[in-house]
Amino acid sequence: CDSHDVGQVASVSICLKDHYLNNLSVQKASFQLNEASQQLELRMTGINIKFSFGFDMLSEPDWFDDKGKGTITVDNASITLNLNP
């Protein structure tokens, strides 16, 4: 569980459980070496990811008390990784 204080008023904890990767797709990936600079580049575009999870949320004092299921969705993202010697 991860706990965060909200000022001096309350502390809120959210526990995530049962993590699942429901979907992962990549439209295009490229791998390139620039010989002059010796730089290696990995680029992925059109990335779609969907995660699902269960959660428990608690607070002190007992103002928030909830549990259920959640999702995180990433649509059409791009990642570029550059490695330089």
User: What is the per-residue pLDDT across 57-79, written as a single tens digit (0 to 9) for each?
Assistant: 888 777 778 899 999 999 999 99
- pLDDT at 4 (0 to 100): 58
H/E element, 85: none
The full length of the chain comes to 85
Q: What percent of the chain clears pLDDT 90, i.e. is strictly above it?
A: 61
Residue range 15-46, pLDDT digits in tens: 889 999 999 999 999 999 988 888 999 999 99
- Which pTM value belongs to this model? 0.66
